Chains A and B, each alone.
Chain A
């Protein structure tokens, strides 16, 4: 469940000024329209970041292919030398000289062929454009649970360049590529303009939407069923209800008897904590964590930290802290060390309901509620004895 932004201007603003949300049909930045235009042969749209990524991957694949070929050649040489060596019966001395270069060839070429086959459907042959879908019915989620947003946005919050500039910066990288055939062929084509409807919208998580609505006061949200703008009070109530699955019954969520242990509140406290310290916080579901922390934003550098939110109940009576096994932690740190991220355990110490009682009677009461949560970060790193000696 998410908050949807459909106004193109708002989508652009939200992405460019703080990297809020995610395109519903894209990995991150909403680029579906541009990708689609380029696929249909539009000549006015620049390369999208997805294309650049794919190009880089192709280069890498090519490089691996070349390496596999060389290894195979080397292996053939060794075999040939051994056969000749047997006939001349002088094995050991000549053998030693090749040792360093020999690696076992796992049939990389086969593997790469398999990869190529798999990636083919992504790039349909030119000249056969699939007709654009005429309605948006296919993607729109029906029902009263849907929350959509008409965004009213004040300008920039974070100093970020537009994504186009970034794309240009990246596009300069593959200049040294050796297979430009496809690109040069396209340049010859006459200019063409394609018009299609944008079927993509921007999705905001509950935490993002609440930060924009409550902390910054720049977002108004409506529900799918009516055009009336939800008050922040109603928005909070809605998020408290829908943060669990199945959604809580309306009667069980009360703002005056706020339950600080709501998963929305715990997540939001962690989100707010890092966002207010200047980090760009994105979902970390791809790396089995709760959040990824970017410095400045995802288009500039890879995420530095991967955050695991762990609720704690030191102030609660008879309430055990959640227990994760070591295997769980090991797998998370393994995955994240592969992608060079530091895992951070973020303990969110949840206040008791009694501590937050009466918050809705005073000015800035919710700020007071947030301040009752304690946040403590513990960075994890693998420590290897052999690498930490000075001598």
Chain B
């Protein structure tokens, strides 16, 4: 029956339009009239022999070539320049102009704006900034840098090509991206105004605690009664469910639960994130905010997403220890609105997005701390008052009730 789902179409969230072959005609529309970006249409795979199709393809191709052939230039008004300081691995902006600075760079005490290497490459690459090289650190010589030169000089300081690729991809999509403060090499960027570590109150061990349903007094009473009157008292393989009278299914399920012991204590919270102590591959790389008009880089508020950049060259699917170290680094999210059990399981209380870079191709995967044990399913049929929500579901509930009545008798 599961195969039915295949024909049911794709979950909207899982369809990535950029996977499709693109129709570039929209580019022509933008350059000509300054119109908005139209929705992309259906995929066209095979020539169907109509002039319509071939002319459509021609138009798309021409539009793409035209867009690519546009000469890129700085206009006098919005020209921004900066100087790369190799000693600090930062670029000093001479005068800030334009909206990009609302979410990039940071000012020091004197009010000078400094750009991180990834910010510099990104701005140079998209033609928003011209960069000069200053080997001494004092703005004496001004050697203009090409895009290649900027890459060569600044890329090592970004932490690797994969990180820059993810950074640029997220920026181009509109997100606001800053490095995790622990990943910053420069003091200027290390201090942030928001809480991004789990607070001490949230002990990561808590989730392993034996927070199961309380058996309650009655439960204890029942158990003790059966213990004494049970012949297999010393049997290590005694069934979890003792023969007896159970009022509802929840009681039965409670007895089936295996208590989980808390794990050996994790490394203490205080002496955590030194850059050396972390897993070299699985750690939070970027803090990401959704695009918003009133973003303030001085007080951004907690990030919307935590991104960890990993490369397929030197990593595999993370192990338990690696996943846990990722989760231990970030605070718990409190759901803004009550969500259903399924949604809660899918969203989890902690979320890390792994940006898996496979030689330039980025795939983002959200790892959510699900905690199924905190969301047990309803095992008892709803009471007579609540039954019959819908016509279709009424029947199964009723039959469930009748069976529940007939249910438990003794075991063996």
Contacts and interface: CB of A to CB of B under 8 A. Distances in A.
A160 interface: yes
Given A304-B342, A370-B258, A161 B348 contact: no
B11 A340 contact: yes
Given A104-B45, A159-B381, A390-B290, A305 B345 contact: yes
Contacts of A102: 50, 52-53
B408 interface: yes
Given A321-B320, A337-B10, A384-B13, A378 B2 contact: no
A103 interface: yes
A155 B17 contact: no
Interface in B1-51: 1-8, 10-18, 42, 44-46, 48-51
Nearest to B252: A157
B140 to A, nearest CB: 42
A214 B239 contact: yes
B379 A165 contact: no
B364 A276 contact: no
A111 to B, nearest CB: 13
A82 interface: yes
Contacts of B293: 391
A161 B11 contact: no
B324 interface: yes
Contact of B257 (A162, A276, A385): A276
Interface stretch (B127-135, B184-192, B270-278, B370-378): B370-378
A386 B18 contact: yes
Nearest to A386: B173
Contacts, number: 304
Nearest to B341: A295
Nearest to A335: B6
Contacts of A38: none
B365 A333 contact: yes
Contact of A217 (B236, B239, B319, B404): B239
A325 interface: yes
B237 interface: yes
Given A326-B317, A377-B372, A366 B261 contact: no
A277 interface: yes
By DSSP majority rule, is chain A's interface helix, strand, loop, or mixed? mixed
B154 interface: no
Interface string A82-111: 100000000100010011001111100000
Contacts of A364: 236, 238
Given A102-B52, A303-B2, A349-B320, A381 B366 contact: yes
A360 interface: yes
Interface residues of B, number: 112
Contact of B403 (A159, A169, A386): A159
Nearest to B18: A386
A339 B6 contact: yes
A349 B18 CA distance: 38
Interface stretch (B63-71, B86-94, B393-401): B393-401
Determine which residue in B235, B317, B399 has the highest number of CB atoms from chain A within 10 A of its CB, and name it: B317
Contact of B2 (A78, A287, A360, A376): A287
B404 A277 contact: no
Interface in B376-411: 376-381, 392, 395-396, 399-401, 403-404, 406-411
A186 interface: no
A340 B233 contact: no
A267 to B, nearest CB: 15
A104 B372 CA distance: 46
Interface in B158-200: 169-170, 173-175
B378 to A, nearest CB: 7
Interface stretch (A113-121, A127-135, A174-182, A307-315): A307-315
Determine which residue in A49, A298, A362, A364 has the highest number of CB atoms from chain B within 10 A of its CB, and name it: A364
B368 A381 contact: yes
Nearest to A217: B239
Contacts of B249: 157-159
Interface string B228-256: 00000111111111110000010011001
Contact of B364 (A98, A161, A326, A382): A382
B290 A382 contact: no
A192 interface: no
A341 B2 CA distance: 10
Given A382-B366, A386-B173, A360 B236 contact: yes
B336 interface: no
A215 interface: yes
Determine which residue in A286, A315, A328, A365 has the highest number of CB atoms from chain B within 10 A of its CB, and name it: A365
Nearest to A364: B238
A302 B392 CA distance: 16
Given A161-B399, A362-B236, A363-B233, A277 B377 contact: yes
A98 B48 CA distance: 15
A372 B404 contact: no
B240 A161 contact: no
A365 B233 CA distance: 11
B290 A379 contact: no
Contacts of A328: 317
Nearest to B5: A339
Given A218-B411, A276-B256, A364-B238, A156 B404 contact: yes
A78 B346 contact: no
A391 B291 contact: yes
A359 interface: yes
A169 B392 contact: yes
A240 to B, nearest CB: 13
A154 interface: yes
Contacts of A367: 240, 258
A31 to B, nearest CB: 12
B256 A275 contact: yes
B395 A161 contact: yes
A387 B403 CA distance: 45
B401 A389 contact: no
Contacts of A342: 345-346
Contact of A371 (B261, B347, B409): B261
Given A382-B363, A387-B13, 6 more contacts: A214-B237, A275-B256, A304-B342, A345-B323, A363-B236, A386-B173
Closest 3 CB pairs of A and B: A217-B239, A365-B236, A159-B400
10 contacts: A155-B403, A155-B406, A215-B241, A216-B241, A231-B237, A277-B376, A323-B316, A326-B356, A339-B5, A342-B345
